[in-house]
Structure 1
Amino acid sequence: MTVIRILPHPEYAPNGAEVQAPPGTSICEALLDNGIKIEHACDMSCACTTCHVIVREGYESLNEADENEEDLLDRAWGLEPQSRLSCQAILAQKDVVVEIPKYSINHAKENH
């Protein structure tokens, strides 16, 4: 099992969290399966940016982002070089640390 450590986020994991998932699972699926209710407005079809995460450790162990994901990430709030759409980032054997950005494009549009 691969361990995903989630850095503290005021809404999704106020104290941070640690979950486990088998390799081959997307980060988004792993979070949802373990009670971390990350946004995923397009139902994990790589059509939005609401599941954007920043991979603070273990980035190189994930599958490579395809062109569609990279194009979508250009619209993500708080984009960083280690940004991924969690629905497209597939876990390998190495543990990862992720940060869920404070806002998503949905929060910005809804004036949260």
Structure 2
Amino acid sequence: MPVIRILPHEEYCPEGATIQAERGTSICEALLDNHIEIEHACELSCACTTCHVVVREGFNSLGEMDESEEDLLDRAWGLEPTSRLSCQAIISDKDVTIEIPKYSINHAREKH
């Protein structure tokens, strides 16, 4: 089973984490299934950028990005060449390492 390594994020995963994910699962689903409560305002429908992640290793092993995801990523905070919407990034047989950006387009939430 592929592994997702999550780099430390002060709010969602302060110590970092390593989780396993079924092939064909989105990164967002795998995070949520493992109690890493990444924002996902559109409920995984590719309609916002709150679940934006930067893939530090294994980018090319993820499912291909479609035009909708590409268009939305243009609005993501901290966009990098290996950015993906975690709700659309589908795990294959390879391990990946991700970083959750410090902020999202939705960062002005009540507890901030």
Report the TM-score when normalising by structure 2: 0.96
**Map of 1:1-112 to 2, 5 A cutoff?**
1-108=1-108, 112=112
Percent identical pairs in the alignment equals 77
Please, which runs of 5 or more residues in structure 2 have no aligned partner? none
- 1:95 & 1:55 partners in 2: Cα distance? 11
Shift of 1:2: 0.8
Tell me the amino acid that sits aligned with residue 69 of structure 2.
Answer: E
Shift of 1:53: 0.1
Equivalent position SS for 2:107: helix
Equivalent position SS for 2:70: helix
- 1:12 & 1:92 partners in 2: Cα distance? 24
Please, which runs of 5 or more residues in structure 1 have no aligned partner? none
Q: Which has the higher helix share?
A: 1
Q: Which runs of 4+ in 1 moved over 6 A?
A: none
Shift of 1:103: 0.1
Shift of 1:108: 4.8
Structure 1 residues 109, 32: closer, same or farther in 2, change over 3 A?
Answer: closer
- 1:81 & 1:70 partners in 2: Cα distance? 11
